[in-house]
Structure 1
Amino acid sequence: MSRGSRARPVVSALAVACVLIPTGCSAAEPRATPTSAGAPTAAAPPAAASDTARPLAADPAHLADDLAADERALRDPGTPDTVLSAAARRQQAAYRVLGRHPEWDAIARPRIPPDLLAGYDHNIDARRQLAAMARPRATLPAWRIVAPRPADELMGYYREAETAFGVNWNVLAAINFVETAFGRVAGVSTAGAQGPMQFMPSTFAAYGAGGDILAPRDAIMAAGRYLAANGFARDRDHALYRYNNSLQYVRAINDYAAVLAADPAGLRAYHRWGVYVNTTAGDVLLPDDYAAAAPIPVEDYLSRVTKASSAVRLSPGSAAVLDAALGVARETSGANPAERAERLSRQFLGTPYGADTLVGSETVPEQLAAELERVDCFTLVDYVEALKRSTSRDQFVNALIRVRYKDNAVGFATRKHFFTDWAATGPAVATDITATLSRNTVEVAKNLNRKDSGGVYLPGLPVVPRTVTYLPSAAVDDGVVTQLRTGDYLGAYAEDGGLDVTHVGIYVAGPDGPLLRNASSLSANQKVVDSPLFDYLRTVPGIVVLRPVQ
């Protein structure tokens, strides 16, 4: 299922399929306008001084164009320091976003000028290798973020170690960069590693030559000794693997080392990068004054530091609905997940059906909207899922961003347009459990957003290959239903190859039988209702089931 925008004279891809079934979010069919990746850019102009406050673009084409401009600025010796810092932080954020979206490669990569392409490819690959090494964490670490030693000083230490031990300076710099952002991270790893090069104390005792594990020069020299002792001159990859037993780590270090070898000035860009933590709530950038003596639950941290409610479109009527629902959220904060999901979703029973309440399209900037006085099938589950994570307005808005958008970035291109995006993109909202429910599930390879009849459903968005698993309605029996939990999200499988589902709702184990709580556009309803599940199943080909992660 995909969701559209009030900013266009058409509604959504979901509408095309929903008119074919008795229940759903029906409306007029959108135009079939093909997407275009755009032509490769020529040499992008360097970033200007006014670019210090330029926000990160949300769509892959503009993201790539802006990244090329920032890369030019970072290579220009005449770029002012303030512009350098802003360009480096945007560069870092852009590579993180692009690294998480391989489906954008066909749009973004052709826009990178040829002379920047090798560095672009290395940065993207490094991000993907490092991201694959660890799962998102639910807590922020017990670290302090401190100012690193100047880049020129560190370069002197890298060169000194290179001369003494035959280990390339750029490899040492890449390790220093990946391990602690050049010493910006002050803290002990979960394994007990310490210092700017992250040595275990016992290893440093053997290779540190009596130095200080926390001192940059001593740690860098120890890294040179260690790599040389492990045969760096004969087999570089083997030595790097001994430093950190991961082939993905080795590949990432080689990627960053290659960027630095091609242009040593790249060190001044990497040296300005901030410290991100990959969390269950998405990327969290730790501020330069961050200090935590113990791990902090990420949701607690975000609720303290982020004030986003002023950025949301919230009418007085919707604000009243939200405040009432938040009262229930506070009352049920200690309840089990099923009870909480039922109580919060019950607040919307009888809410009028309203399509096309989201604002944003290929040509209209996205706006964060919360229209709680009327909902469609997808915004209903959006709001319920966000409310489950909230006890205040600020928490609700922050949670809505994490639920509705990829990478916590409000934008049309980053909106989770398809139901299965909730499980397939970060931050993950749910887990696809369809295949676990029965042996009768079916896997179908789809190209989401590409119409079977030609063209695309949502202009400006890429086509996303995805395998969708569904359970045919005829196979949904009591044995399947007993495995469902109140609060699970059910999607009506779409037979069109460009959609995953055509309608969504919330499973509720009612006293008189299983229900689908959903925003129905049927003329007899036009509101949020509880539909008997087995009655509903007779109207759809099958279901996709996502279980919320919290």
Structure 2
Amino acid sequence: MSFLASVMLAAALGAAAEPKQIYQMTPQEAGAFIAEQRRAEPDLRKRIAAIGRRNIGQPYKLNLLGEFPYELHDTLPMYSLEASDCLVFAEHTYAMALSGSWEEFFWTLQRIRYKDGVIGVASRNHYMEVDWNTSNRWLLTDASNGASYAMHVDRALFLKTQHHVQRDIPVQDSVQAYLPVAQAMAQFSTLDEGDMVEVVSVRKGQHMVTHVGLVVLDTQGQRRFLHSSAPQVREEPFEDFIARTQARASNGLAGFKFLRLNDHIVVPPAAPQPRP
């Protein structure tokens, strides 16, 4: 065998041995990966970090999930391996880490995405503060304090204008706690692997969560921010994320919410799916 052929063969074997990232997997391969992670890593926090890192490089795509084929208001699917936005990345990572098979992952994903696990655009956890965080208290606990902002949520108007769906839902007002940027930077080192960070920004004069990511530890035990943001999933120091965000004109960065992973997690059963 010639030297060039030997080099090419070695390169091919090396490429073949390189493990796939999740976004390169088929559902069947992802199911096997989920089962292996459950067997190999009993620590949920470490499993969250390992699964999240196996999606580094996943392309970013905004607003890519819906209820199809359960509902036909759009044609967006109920899961995505190929791409993610910030919330899709976090939800898929948590659901995979809590599961031992593809089937359990898909069920858990919907339990996270929807209030009581009832599938439908009207029951999806659209607003992080008053929907997602509240519905997933079994998974994470909001540990934010230091400042606050008021929220005025009109779900009926949102569903009508964004999804062309009519629902009679009362308007909700709430007050949300958060950490201003300097306080969040000082407290980031107290977070544990698997905790969630929510970015609070000001949009049109209103505070709201506009981005989310996960906390992971590097080999020196330093906390880092793992998240899906254009152009792809990345891991970086928290201060680098803040600096890059603040460098953008009109970034609106106000602070952060810190949600801590609960110590003893039992995924609750879903409510019965109502007949259409």
TM-score between the two structures when normalised by the length of structure 2? 0.69
Describe how 1:427-466 pairs up with structure 2 within 5 A: 428-435=138-145, 441-448=146-153, 460=165, 462=169, 463-466=171-174
Describe how 1:391-430 pairs up with structure 2 within 5 A: 391-420=100-129, 421-425=131-135, 428-430=138-140
- Whether the 8 Å contact between 2:48 and 2:93 is mirrored in structure 1 is yes
Query: Partner of 1:350: helix, strand, or coil?
Result: coil
Equivalent residue, structure 1, for 2:212: 504
Moved more, 498-507 or 380-389: 498-507
Equivalent residue, structure 2, for 1:347: 54
**Higher strand fraction (1 or 2):** 2
Equivalent residue, structure 1, for 2:233: 528
- Cα distance in 2 between the residues matched to 1:427 and 1:338: 17
Equivalent residue, structure 2, for 1:541: 254
Shift in Å at residue 399 of structure 1? 0.6
Identify unmatched segments of 5+ residues in structure 2.
1-22, 246-252, 266-276
Shift in Å at residue 499 of structure 1? 6.1
- Cα distance in 1 between the residues matched to 2:33 and 2:172: 35
- Whether the 8 Å contact between 2:194 and 2:214 is mirrored in structure 1 is yes
- Whether the 8 Å contact between 1:377 and 1:518 is mirrored in structure 2 is yes
Equivalent residue, structure 1, for 2:31: 323
Shift in Å at residue 514 of structure 1? 2.7
- Whether the 8 Å contact between 2:64 and 2:77 is mirrored in structure 1 is no
- Cα distance in 2 between the residues matched to 1:442 and 1:321: 45
- Cα distance in 2 between the residues matched to 1:387 and 1:357: 18
Query: Partner of 2:121: helix, strand, or coil?
Result: coil
Query: Partner of 1:357: helix, strand, or coil?
Result: coil
Shift in Å at residue 498 of structure 1? 5.8
- Cα distance in 1 between the residues matched to 2:181 and 2:193: 19
Shift in Å at residue 412 of structure 1? 0.3
- Cα distance in 2 between the residues matched to 1:465 and 1:355: 27
- Whether the 8 Å contact between 1:404 and 1:416 is mirrored in structure 2 is yes
Describe how 1:211-360 pairs up with structure 2 within 5 A: 317-320=25-28, 322-335=30-43, 337-360=44-67
Cα 1:390–1:516 shift into 2, 3 Å: same
Query: Partner of 1:416: helix, strand, or coil?
Result: coil
Shift in Å at residue 322 of structure 1? 2.1
TM-score between the two structures when normalised by the length of structure 1? 0.37
- Please list the CA deviations of residues 372-394 of structure 1 after superposition, one character each: whole Å capped at 9, or x if unmatched: 11111110011011112100112
Cα 1:442–1:458 shift into 2, 3 Å: farther
Give the aligned residue type for 2:261: P
- Please list the CA deviations of residues 447-496 of structure 1 after superposition, one character each: whole Å capped at 9, or x if unmatched: 1358xxxx966664754323221111122344x12320111111110223
Cα 1:547–1:320 shift into 2, 3 Å: same
Give the aligned residue type for 2:213: G
Give the aligned residue type for 1:446: M
Query: Partner of 1:541: helix, strand, or coil?
Result: strand
Query: Partner of 1:502: helix, strand, or coil?
Result: strand
Q: Identify the structure with bigger relative contact order (alpha carbons < 8 Å, sequence gap 6+).
A: 2
Give the aligned residue type for 1:546: L
Identify unmatched segments of 5+ residues in structure 1.
1-314, 436-440
Give the aligned residue type for 1:355: L
Give the aligned residue type for 1:543: F
- Cα distance in 2 between the residues matched to 1:322 and 1:418: 29
Give percent identity, aligned residues only.
Answer: 25
Shift in Å at residue 318 of structure 1? 4.2
- Work out the number of aligned pairs and report it: 221
Equivalent residue, structure 1, for 2:189: 482
Cα 1:369–1:456 shift into 2, 3 Å: closer
Shift in Å at residue 367 of structure 1? 6.9
- Cα distance in 2 between the residues matched to 1:541 and 1:477: 12
- Please list the CA deviations of residues 119-150 of structure 1 after superposition, one character each: whole Å capped at 9, or x if unmatched: xxxxxxxxxxxxxxxxxxxxxxxxxxxxxxxx
Query: Partner of 1:495: helix, strand, or coil?
Result: strand
Query: 2:92 matched to 1:383?
Result: yes
Shift in Å at residue 528 of structure 1? 0.6
- Whether the 8 Å contact between 1:470 and 1:544 is mirrored in structure 2 is yes
Equivalent residue, structure 1, for 2:179: 471
Give the aligned residue type for 1:348: N
Cα 1:485–1:414 shift into 2, 3 Å: same
- Please list the CA deviations of residues 37-58 of structure 1 after superposition, one character each: whole Å capped at 9, or x if unmatched: xxxxxxxxxxxxxxxxxxxxxx
Query: Partner of 1:494: helix, strand, or coil?
Result: strand
- Cα distance in 2 between the residues matched to 1:324 and 1:442: 44
- Cα distance in 2 between the residues matched to 1:477 and 1:385: 24
Shift in Å at residue 431 of structure 1? 1.1
